[in-house]
Chains A and B, each alone.
Chain A
Amino acid sequence: MKKAVKKLLLIWVGVCAFGLHLPSIAAPYTPADGITVVATWQVLDNKQEVINLKRVREFIEQGQYPGESDYRYGHAKTWLQSQLTQDKKVSAELLYLYARVLQHQHQFDSALKYLDEALALDPKDTNSWLLKSNIHMVQGDADLAKQACLAMLGHTNITVLTACALDVASQDGQLDDSYKQLNRLSTSQGLAKSPEQKWIVHMLADMALRNDMPVAAEKHLQSFGLETASVSILALWADTQLALLKYDQVLIRLAPIVNSYPVKDDALLLRLSMAEKESSKLPYWQNIFAQRVALRELRKDSLHAAELARYYLVVNIQPKKALYWAEVNWQVAKQHDDRNLLDQATDLWQKNQGS
């Protein structure tokens, strides 16, 4: 009896493991009856809604939040392109929004081109200058990034201008000083109720983490409610927790947020996988992200090269792939973190070669 139960259990475990663990290996089949459910999804927007500039602006804002990115940016880009191909005058805002979408998709040179057109129409648009500065920073051009900040002189308040310039300086070898100055700025100017407050605090947290001050970064991020935070804030928060070795916190607090959306962002899946790996838990998130990575590679999606590189560096250690994706990332993104990623991948590859 004991042997029979044991045998039955082993077979059952094997069937479960085999049957549930092969998400992408299947053969076409014809369902047996009409009530068989062949696909499920969460019902999203009403497809009949009217898409206009206002709606696209909302799409792009919403695209910063978990579960919304692909769907929102995809819809936004399609509509914006349809407007641009029509032979009529377009507004500076439309050009700016299109540049935002291109920036999101790492098409930085194209984004800059549209930003220049937007600024030609509206040279005082702060958003366009900030985006331009950001793109130049990503491309590793601190001079042009700083120029974009200074171009806002007279068009925006001194806080925004200073914060922009300090952000650039922090990527240009002045991280410690920039952090201190920005910290003083945020406390001395009474920004608590200003619209720029969250943006500056985000920047402070990012600088603190880059400056190996995860405790300070965590403190800055306390002002953000995770349930309503953007993907970038959530990713930064998760990185802070990982730096503080609080792996369980990442799993406990981030997992429910990610699980509440059908579309799961690569950046958050990566952090969950890293936390799960470090805490030696069963590979739930690691399996989900492994599927995502496989599909990204099949589609040759270089947009997420940084996530793929970190995945192969930390979660599913494969030095050659880590180095490949780190180099692909470096082709378009040349910030401090991108350099670190390339260095880590190179070190791992060399150690692997030597061993």
Chain B
Amino acid sequence: MKNFIPPFFFRGLFVLLMLCISYTGHAHQMSTSYLSMTINAEGQIDGSWQVRLFDVNQKLAIDLNQDGQLTWSELQANQLAIVDFLRASLSISGDNDCPLMFDGTQQIDNHFNEGYLVSQFSSSCQSSGPLTINYQAFFDIDSDHKAIVNIDGDQYQYSRVISYENPLLLVDLSQSQWFDTFNEYTYQGIIHIWKGTDHILFLLALLLTCALFRKNGTWFAIAKPTQIFRDTAWIVTAFTLAHTITLTATAAGLINFDSRWVELGIAISVLLAALNNVWPIVFKLGWITFAFGLLHGMGFAGVLEEVGLPASQKLLAVFAFNLGVEIGQLVILIVVLPLLFFFSQQHWYRRWGVQCASLAIGLMAIKWSLERF
């Protein structure tokens, strides 16, 4: 009987060879470290910090023979220097500084085909308020370095990314995560209304005439501040109600419109609001505000998606974001309303000030419309 090597043997060998070749490729990655901690209610911290060995070598020259191949013995020879470096690069403080105790035992791990040093540490950190984690490792040699931080508490867990731009992390032991979420998203809401020029200009276009009334084709100043306040409150409420509805619905996935048309619609809403000041057609501003506010809410939702929603606290995050938007709006109102009341008393403002400001807003809106189309 002849020796027979079955065809599948060669196929199998070929597959094996291809697999081995295909999967042995790897690429040097971005400078990243991984920091994990558990923190209990008594302030006991137990953590693990994984730093890329290439980065450690950049700081401490642990590759003693500089051959590009770091051995375990070379690493062990630099153990004390490494621990000193780690201790100097990470600090946790509460009411006082909390010294970190690094375990003498180190290990190796692998992330994305790169070798990492694993160091365990612990600390006891009593605090009446939030703990501050101050991370400074490797930023002086690579401003692109980031630390992926995972924190487990008794009642919460969350992930954060520490970067050169944001080296500090606040961890509040006394409050549950819902408060962190609420604070963070309220803050994001405030920031995003202040950064949203189109939203601000829409509001401004509506408010330019809040202290005026129209009669026989001419603007006149409203004498009673209470009436100004009531009219403004109605406009702002309508805007708030409308964008809350669509922001929540979009964030919940109930509606989903093409962001391109939403952005174009927002630009057109600003244009129409501005033009209505020059050629007034709609006098019941509350309804037009509500209608366009629905569009603006969808625009906010797009921004909210970029920030990201925590899976377990979506509703809270959306509510907090909405609240942030409201607070941001109110601040704008507090600044702008007294000025508009003052201007409304000036003849020049009623005669051509409103029109000029509206046309300027309108031109900006036309530019956006063309860009977004």
Contacts and interface: CB of A to CB of B under 8 A. Distances in A.
A287 B148 contact: no
B228 interface: no
Contacts of A26: 109-111
B141 interface: yes
Interface in B40-75: 50, 53-54, 57-58, 61, 66-73, 75
B260 A287 contact: no
Contact of A30 (B25, B30, B32, B108): B108
B26 interface: yes
A78 interface: yes
Interface residues of B, number: 67
A154 to B, nearest CB: 29
Contacts of B105: 30
Interface in A117-166: 140
B103 to A, nearest CB: 12
Given A9-B12, A41-B57, A299 B71 contact: no
A94 to B, nearest CB: 16
A326 to B, nearest CB: 9
Contact of A39 (B29, B53, B61): B53
A42 B68 contact: yes
A327 B306 CA distance: 8
Contacts of B140: 78
Interface string B1-33: 000001011001101101111111111111110
Contact of A346 (B31, B71, B258): B258
Contact of B9 (A5, A296, A334): A5
A337 interface: no
A39 B70 contact: yes
B77 to A, nearest CB: 9
Interface in A41-80: 41-43, 47, 70-71, 73-75, 77-78
A311 to B, nearest CB: 15
A2 B114 CA distance: 40
A21 B111 CA distance: 13
A178 B7 CA distance: 60
A10 B9 CA distance: 10
Contacts of A195: none
B259 A327 contact: yes
Contacts of A13: 12, 15-16, 19
B142 interface: yes
A87 interface: no
A346 B259 contact: yes
A21 B50 CA distance: 22
B20 A38 contact: no
A20 B15 contact: no
A216 B30 CA distance: 36
A328 B306 contact: yes
**Main SS class of interface, A:** helix
Contacts of A23: 26, 110, 112-113
A91 interface: no
B70 A37 contact: yes
Nearest to B118: A28
Contacts of B157: none
B70 A262 contact: no
Contacts of A38: 53, 70-72, 75, 108, 115
Interface string A256-285: 000100111000010000000000001111
B346 interface: no
B146 interface: yes
Interface residue tally on A, bucketed by range? 35 or more
A77 B114 CA distance: 24
Nearest to A346: B258
A215 to B, nearest CB: 31
Nearest to A334: B371
A262 B30 CA distance: 11
Interface string A322-355: 0010011001001000000011001000100100
A248 to B, nearest CB: 17
B76 interface: yes
Given A21-B23, A24-B112, A41 B143 contact: no
A75 B31 CA distance: 12
A77 to B, nearest CB: 4
Given A6-B6, A282-B18, A43 B66 contact: yes
Interface string A79-96: 001000000000000000
Interface string A9-33: 1101100110011011011111101
A281 to B, nearest CB: 9
A88 to B, nearest CB: 19
Contacts of B29: 291-292, 295
B180 interface: no
B100 to A, nearest CB: 19
Contacts of A10: 12
A252 interface: no
A34 B110 contact: no
B161 interface: yes
Closest 3 CB pairs of A and B: A39-B115, A34-B73, A9-B12
22 contacts: A16-B23, A24-B112, A27-B109, A29-B109, A30-B107, A34-B76, A39-B54, A40-B115, A47-B61, A70-B31, A74-B142, A74-B143, A74-B144, A75-B141, A77-B143, A259-B25, A262-B27, A291-B27, A291-B112, A301-B146, A324-B305, A331-B306
Interface of B: 6, 8-9, 12-13, 15-16, 18-32, 50, 53-54, 57-58, 61, 66-73, 75-76, 105, 107-115, 118, 139-146, 148, 161, 256, 258-260, 302, 305-306, 371
Given A20-B19, A26-B110, A291-B29, 20 more contacts: A12-B16, A13-B16, A13-B19, A20-B20, A23-B113, A29-B107, A29-B109, A37-B71, A38-B70, A38-B71, A38-B108, A39-B114, A74-B143, A81-B143, A259-B25, A285-B25, A288-B27, A295-B30, A334-B371, A342-B259
